[in-house]
Structure 1
Amino acid sequence: VTTGEYGSQMLSLGGVHHLTGGSKKEGRVTCDALMDLSNGKPVEMTVDGGVTVVVQAGHPPIVNGVLEERMRVGCGSATIGMFAKQWHGKIDEVVVVDDHITGVLSEHQAGKLLDIPDTGIKLKGRRSTPGRYFQVAEPGIGWGGTNISDPLSVLGPFDPKTARPGLRMMMVSTTGEHAAYFELDETLKPVEKEMPADLKKSVERIQENCEPALCTVLFMGGAGGSLRAGVTDNPVRLTRSVKDALTSVTCGGAPVYVWPGGGITFMVDVTQVPEGAFGYVPTPALVAPIEFTLRLSDYAALGGHMDHVRPLASLKSNTEIRQLPKQLSEPRSRK
């Protein structure tokens, strides 16, 4: 796991260090997993010190056997920025629990602009800027991607100089899957009560604004020297032609992102590539389709193999050519 953004975990898999730099078994297992992922098949993997996850391009992830339904609407701070106006006048305090940034309405700039008074609330964790807290809990599969099941565990005692009995507080996660409503009793301790209908609607609005959970698999590879030699007698000219935007690169007809720097290194969304397009060689290494499209005159100028050029019409009449369906390009609809 290299990093994360708004709860989406980003994994870097494969590469030559695992394919050929380790044991023969490690290389085979790595190659099989990468090929299955690239061809849209599910692959189960375990993160060291973490969870077991099933990844399949275009499908929701399955974490520890549980199918994830939605992404987070944002971090806790972003959630407050989005929905503060909808809470104004209906609640005294809102805490949006998130393992990245937990937000507190009364301290947040959005709350200040609405003249929401201080509530005397105290949060655990590390305060970043007003209304934003880091590390209120450990990461997990509980509230807001933390390891907690009781939201009150992230709170300290309320300040008696500011807090008052009857103060209304809602705690909600960044997906809206967890939410609870509390009122302070005479000792300034939160007591859970039934959530008012207008607050329930705001929780539903958070859920509505969460996009469906989805695994994205991006294949990254490069055009080797022998491949480029199959295009031109002088392979570096093909590289320069791509950099100069004279030559377009695709992968099985799918658009790609060509990385800056030397060589022709590209990245492609595997759901846009024809089904079963990825293969392997015994090295072990993956093999992906790649096409270069350019004007005939530019091809001649870069030293292309002009004696092997064929008119498109001659290919269209070839009975061996078949149309390949694309892999799943849209996530499955939620029931």
Structure 2
Amino acid sequence: MGKLLGYRESGITPVGTYASPGRFFGDHGEGWGGTPVKDPREAIAHVDKSKVFPGMKVLILEVTGDHAAMLEMNDNGEFQIVELPQRARELQLWIRENRETSQLSVLYVGGAGGSLRSGITNFPLALTKAVHEGKVILSVGGVRAFVLPGAGINFIVDVAKMPWRPFNWVPSPAVVAPIEFTMLKKVYFELGGHQRELVLLDDLLKQRESKTDAS
């Protein structure tokens, strides 16, 4: 790209692995940008003396904008750290304000088995159908899940939106996920739900409070 814009080669080779003209990948480390570079002068691996000149300036800038330094070549052919110009500082700030935080996507993929469904209704297949029709909302740890369109009740849910440590484990081995089915009482009756097991939310909260006080 630089050649197309009329720029000439600087004569400076940065540290890292060559990828393509003007592009290098740094090694892993604890320094700037996750590389071994801890002093901005260490970012330069090699200098072609025939192409550089005294007074030449090089901006060393971390991709996140957290660190920036201006280097200037002295009369001895060595780069020294000089004061960062205001325009370079403004560029650093702009990069820092427009960066995106590195974040993982953690998805839990699971399914609701027959024993779980029969614990809700006498007609497990009716529950499955109602979930796919949108009459029943499936959530995991309070987070609405995406239900896969195939048979059964299989889903994907965003773990990052759940409360801290929502899962449990049993020796089977198996993961125990907090699955919830939310529906109107009318729909619950239509599905053949266990009506005698219904408990008001206020009563559940009171039971939890009493258990908390007892502990």
Q: Distance in 1 between matches of 2:69 and 2:189?
A: 65
- RMSD (CA atoms): 4.0
1:248 aligns with 2:159: no
In the other structure, the counterpart of 1:48 is none
Of 155, 162, 166, which residue of structure 2 is paired with 1:265? 155
Pick from 56, 77, 82 the counterpart of residue 167 of structure 1.
56
What is the one-letter code of the residue matched to 2:156?
A: F
CA distance in 2 between counterparts of 1:319 and 1:245 reads 26
One-letter amino acid of the counterpart of residue 158, structure 2: V
- The residue type equivalent to 1:266 in the other structure is I
Larger strand proportion, structure 1 or 2?
A: 2
Contact 1:251 1:290 in 2 (8 A): yes
Tell me the CA shift for residue 171 of structure 1.
0.8
Q: Which SS does the other structure have where 1:147 is aligned? A: coil
1:320 partner amino acid: D
In structure 2, what is the equivalent of residue 127 of structure 1? Answer: 18
Q: What TM-score do the two structures reach when normalised by structure 1?
A: 0.47
TM-score by length of 2: 0.68
Note if contact 1:157-1:189 (Cα within 8 Å) is conserved in structure 2. no
| Matched-pair identity in % | 34
Q: Which residue of 2 aligns with 1:141?
A: 30
Q: What is the deviation of 1:120?
A: 1.9
Please give the alpha-carbon distance, in whole angstroms, between the structure 2 residues aligned to 1:154 and 1:113.
25
Shift of the 156–140 alpha-carbon distance from structure 1 to 2, 3 Å rule, reads: closer
- Give, in angstroms, the shift of residue 287 of structure 1: 2.7
Structure 2 distance, partners of 1:188, 1:245, is: 72
What residue in structure 1 maps to residue 115 of structure 2?
226
User: Hey, what's the Cα distance between the residues in 1 that align with 2:127 and 2:148?
Assistant: 15
Q: Which structure would you say has the larger RCO, counting Cα contacts within 8 Å and 6 or more residues apart? A: 1
Structure 1 partner of 2:69: 180
Q: Does 1:205 align with 2:77?
A: no
Render the CA deviation track for 1:169-201: whole Å, top value 9, x for unaligned: 011212222322111234543222121122122
Aligned-partner SS, 1:157: strand
Corresponding residue of 2:194 = 308
Q: Pick the aligned partner of 2:205 from 292, 303, 322.
A: 322
Contact 1:280 1:287 in 2 (8 A): yes
Q: What's the CA shift for 1:145?
A: 0.9
Give the match's secondary structure for 2:46.
Answer: coil
**SS at the partner of 1:127?**
strand
> When the two structures are aligned, how many residues end up with a matched partner?
204
Pairing partner for 2:45 from 139, 148, 156: 156
Q: CA deviation at 1:298?
A: 10
- The code of the aligned residue for 1:131 comes to G
Unaligned runs of 5+ in 1: 1-108, 325-335
- Secondary structure at the counterpart of residue 148 of structure 1: coil
Query: Which one-letter code corresponds to 1:192 in the other structure?
Result: I
For 1:167 and 1:238, how far apart are their aligned partners in 2? 73
Matches of 1:168 and 1:260, distance apart in 2: 59
Q: What does the per-residue CA deviation read over 1:281-315, in whole Å, with 9 as the maximum and x for residues that have no partner?
A: 45464433222346867995xxx3x15358xxx86
CA distance in 1, matches of 2:151, 2:50: 64
Number of the residue aligned with 1:290? 179
Q: CA 1:190/1:265 → structure 2, altered by over 3 Å: closer, same or farther?
A: same
* The 10-residue stretch of structure 1 (151-160 or 215-224) with the greater mean CA deviation from structure 2: 215-224
SS of residue in 1 equivalent to 2:20: coil
Taking structure 1 as reference, are residues 219 and 152 closer, same or farther at Cα in structure 2, changes over 3 Å only? same
CA shift digits 1:142-177 (9 cap, x unpaired): 110123323443433223443333221011212222
Please say if residues 225 and 235 of structure 1, whose CA atoms lie closer than 8 Å, have aligned partners that are also in contact.
yes
Aligned counterparts of 2:193 and 2:148: Cα–Cα separation in 1: 31
Contact 1:158/1:188 (<8 A) preserved: no
Structure 2 gaps of 5+ residues are: 209-215
Name the larger-Rg structure: 2
